[in-house]
Amino acid sequence: MSGFGFTGDGFGNEEGKGMPDLGALFTQLGKMFSGEPGALPESTIRDIARGQLGNDRYIGHIDLAEVTEALNLADLWINDTTAFPSALRTPQAWSKADWVESTMSGWMNLVAPMSKSLTDGLTKSLTESQVEGIELSAMTTGPLAGVFQQMTGMLLAQQVGGTVAAVAKLTTGSADTSLPLASDGVAALIPTNVNEWGEGLGIDMRDVRLFLALREIAGTRLLAEVPWLRGRLTDAVTAYGSGIQIDVQAISDQAMDVMNALQEGADPRSLFTPATTPAQELALAQLETLLALFEGWVNHVVHLAIAERLPSHVALEESSRRKRVSQNPTTTVFQSLVGLEVSPRLSREATHFWNVALDLKGLEGRDELWSHPDLLPAALEMQDPAAFLSSTSAPDDLSGLDPA
């Protein structure tokens, strides 16, 4: 399992392989030392992400018109498949760079708590460790403390910047990651990525665009109507980070091998591999289940919207299933950040769970399950949705429940 922020990805070149771009690295170092001690450098993350996007087509008025039409129609169709009201206020067509800019605040909300956890973990390890008899606590106290914190933030920014760029190349909209990255009320498609998604399918691009618009609208509605999702997702990432255990002696032992690998043009290896604690395993399991439930609900409501309206729906849904196994933006995010890969099997079980929930509880009863996290199933409970749903009901008064 990869550690947060210390793999080779995003290490200064476009593919995260071989020698880093030293010029860019020193430029970022200069920015780092002029910043606030201990802060995760947002400007560095943005610069790294945009620097790895490559060619990024300009979005014109035709793109905007096509995307706006698709999103507005999708919003009408989704009205019939969910009790959640429309959240669409601003249909937008984005370039990949627009996506980076428009989601940067959401990225910072997700990873900034992780930065503190990582810094605290490193500080604790260095304070208590020696390498060949040398006490390392001086790195984390006195005049060097601020430099140490900035260095930690820089390492994390390299990883996050590479992750943002990788997702920007895959995602087709603002909610495709199952994360609240964009502002409320914004629904967007990335025409370049939409066109690439539909290439070779033999399906009219208008159908492709509408299908992806339906997924975007469904995701943005769920995020808008379930406010506790944001905190739960962030808390799970932070809980993972707070349990990181760092072997400083191992870092020392590996340092020469890492430098040799860089000089030879090989992939930079991880400087340390965090040992996963039981608390971290629990946090990741809960995170995976929540992400699967999100994706399963989107699959479910989109199918209801298109099954009798779009003749190409079978081919579109099958293509979506295949792509989300090999090119899933959600997996790209969490595999890089916390070493988590959302199981396709679990996503299929979640889709089935929502199908059964609709049959047993109706449309409004199904969506009421999102009113509190305690009303949602754990991974094992999804394997027998009828049994779980027969024992679960939303109380008339949720005021005594704490979703945090």
263 contacts 188 by C-beta, under 8 angstroms: no
Which two tokens mark 171? 């995602």
Helices within 143-277 (DSSP H only): 144-170, 191-198, 205-225, 228-242, 248-263
Q: How many CA atoms lie within 13 A of 204 on its CB side?
A: 7
Query: What distance in Å separates the CA atoms of residue 126 and residue 274, rounded to the nearest whole number?
Result: 15
Query: So what's the pLDDT on residue 53?
Result: 92
Torsion of CA 349, 350, 356, 361, to 10 degrees: 160
Q: Where are the domains of the chain?
A: 22-288+327-342
Give one word for 332, left, alpha or beta, with left for phi > 0 and alpha for psi -120 to 50.
alpha
Write down the pLDDT at residue 350.
97
CA dihedral sign, ordered 102, 104, 110, 113: negative
Residue 300 main-chain phi, psi, to 5 deg: -65, -50
Q: How far apart are CA 359 and CA 353, in angstroms?
A: 10
Give the pairing type, strands 90-93 and 130-131.
unpaired
Confirm if 209 and 67 have CB atoms less than 8 A apart. Answer: yes
What does pTM read for this prediction? Answer: 0.80
Structure tokens at 353: 């769970």
Predicted confidence pLDDT, tens digits, the chain (404 residues): 344 433 334 434 444 444 445 455 545 545 544 444 446 788 889 999 999 998 888 899 999 999 999 999 999 999 999 999 999 998 999 999 999 999 999 998 888 777 666 666 666 655 555 445 545 455 555 555 555 566 666 777 888 899 999 999 999 999 999 888 998 889 999 999 999 999 999 999 999 999 999 999 999 999 999 989 888 887 877 777 666 555 555 555 554 555 555 455 544 434 444 556 787 788 888 889 999 999 999 999 999 999 999 999 999 999 999 998 888 888 888 887 777 777 889 999 999 999 999 999 999 999 999 999 999 999 999 999 999 999 876 555 544 555 55
pLDDT of residue 7: 38
The three-state (H, E, C) secondary structure of 170-186, written as one string = HCCECCCCCCCCCCCCE
Burial of 160 (0-12, 13-18, 19+ CB in 10 A): buried
Question: Could you tell me the two tokens for 239?
Answer: 């809980």
Q: What are phi and psi of 130, to 5 degrees?
A: -135, 145
pLDDT for position 1 = 39
User: Which pLDDT does position 204 carry in this prediction?
Assistant: 96
Helix (H) or strand (E) holding 30: helix 22-33
